[in-house]
Structure 1
């Protein structure tokens, strides 16, 4: 018996406010991912230990955002957390020998992974076949 995989390509037409929120979320995810890479590199050079995503998340919320970049709080916390976990996963794969050293995400390439929580009141409302 053959199993057929189907893929659906969907184009989403966003309002200007929704488009701004999507671009803002992608930008913050890229910034947090790159910040995690820099911080993890410094931490490893100083202590020779891996900085976990959980420890970085605690530092980011309790220390860094208070002093430096409060604009990160304007997007969903779940999207920020997922960006941190993506960076943590990239480092773990590198240490296991499964992949190359993690590289910084660039705005030009648009290769940033972003997580959009479903039915978050501040973001998009998603129903079947409708947004």
Structure 2
């Protein structure tokens, strides 16, 4: 059976508590990216060898256990892992000369986002709400429906403070060719 992945972007309306959780996760994902960018840069300068995703993932576990960074445990762990994957992909693109050297992420950038994977149906749409890990059920303005399995979700916040979720959905080729059955 042949499948396709399609993206769907919807506006979400988190309440104050949910917005605080989303903002905290955005900050934690940015911190993890920047922290391990510095670690990998320093390792490369000192020993002329780059750390891998697997090694940084092990360091992340230790980082969450430290007292001064224990607040990382409050964020969605999949979002932090995806942040490390993004860093690894940035290094891979740099070494293959497809992009420049990875840059630190700014707290003041126009839009911020984090991606989280769907494990154990942790991301799903229930009526007019979407279930997001660690955030719970958030009101969604779903402009269109889809049939398929949600692979991951990217939660983003614009400079004006509006929130969106982009879903990567795996669909049957037959569902795409015959959307009404």
The one-character-per-residue Cα deviations of 1:27-66 (angstroms, maximum 9, x if unpaired) are: 000000001100000111122111111101101212x332
Structure with the larger helix share: 1
SS at match of 1:113: strand
In structure 2, stretches of 5+ residues that fail to align are: 1-6, 118-122, 124-130, 143-181
| Residue 35 of structure 2 corresponds to residue 23 of structure 1 | no
Q: CA shift at 1:13, angstroms?
A: 1.4
Q: CA deviation at 1:113?
A: 3.5
- 1:59–1:10 distance in 2 versus 1, CA, 3 Å: closer
Task: Name stretches of at least 5 consecutive residues in structure 1 with no aligned partner.
Answer: 1-6
TM-score, normalised relative to structure 2: 0.60
Q: TM-score, normalised by structure 1?
A: 0.81
C-alpha distance in 2, partners of 1:38/1:121? Answer: 28
Task: State the Cα deviation string for residues 65-116 of structure 1 (Å, max 9, x = none).
Answer: 3233010010111000000110111011101100001111001114443024
* Higher relative contact order (CA closer than 8 Å, sequence separation 6+): 2
Equivalence for 1:66: 65
**More displaced 10-residue stretch of structure 1: 47-56 or 78-87:** 47-56
Matched residues, number: 122
Q: Secondary structure at 1:50's aligned position in 2?
A: coil
Task: Calculate the aligned-residue CA RMSD, in Å.
Answer: 2.4
Q: Which contiguous aligned blocks of 4+ residues in structure 1 show a shift greater than 6 angstroms?
A: none
2:28 is paired with a residue whose SS is: helix
Larger strand proportion of the pair: 2
